[in-house]
Amino acid sequence: MTTDRENIYFNVLRNALYHTGRRMTFDRWSRWGNFAVIVLGASAFADVTRPLFGQGYAVWLGGITAVIGAIQLVFDFGGRAREHQSLQRDYYNLLDDIEESAMPSIEQIGRWRGAMVRIAGGEPPVLRALDCKAYNDAIGATDVYPKTERIFIPAWHRIWGQVWAFEGYDYKKLWELPVGHKARISLPES
């Protein structure tokens, strides 16, 4: 059985890991988008490729550049990465406060819960498959919960979890899966 301190610590760690993953994804998308816009958008590049590919391909390259540039402006991957970086920092600061108190009072635990709710209030909508991944990562990073408490994330959700919320999907813990399920069969003994 977990204590209130362990439960809060686990949830704050899960949230910190979630925002770390989101920040890294948006940073990656922003860097690749910027790279593509620079390379594809340079008029010199289009001029160089015209003799190789003909006039038609140079027009396609210009169109692709416009689409990538529009995606960069509309979705603002860099700005979203900074938003998740700020939330990540807030959660890690709260983890630091929890770590500093080995024997917290009931009032201290209440302040931590309040701080966690305040931070969560500023979060963008959560992508559930990624939140489940962060939950599993937090279980792996702590010795508080057995491995059977991990959540089974279908392959389709792992692939599309960065862009699709999967609202309403009922994620199951490994111990809840049917006995013959492949993920349950490969469970380590805990």
pLDDT tens per residue across span 60-87: 766 777 778 778 887 888 888 999 999 9
Mapped onto helix, strand or coil, the DSSP state of residue 23 is helix
Token pair belonging to 5: 């301190």
Below-70 pLDDT ranges, the chain: 1-2, 39-59, 61-62, 182-190
pTM, entire model: 0.73
Separation between Cα atoms, residue 133 and residue 128, nearest integer Å = 9
Separation between Cα atoms, residue 50 and residue 29, nearest integer Å = 28
In contact, 58 and 46? CB cutoff 8 Å: yes
Q: CA-based angle 88:94:98, to the nearest 5? A: 140
In contact, 15 and 120? CB cutoff 8 Å: yes
Instruction: Output the pLDDT for position 42.
Output: 62
Instruction: Output the pLDDT for position 43.
Output: 60
Residues in the chain: 190
Instruction: Output the pLDDT for position 190.
Output: 46
Question: Taking Cα atoms as reference points, which of 93, 87, 91, 72 lies closest to residue 30?
Answer: 72
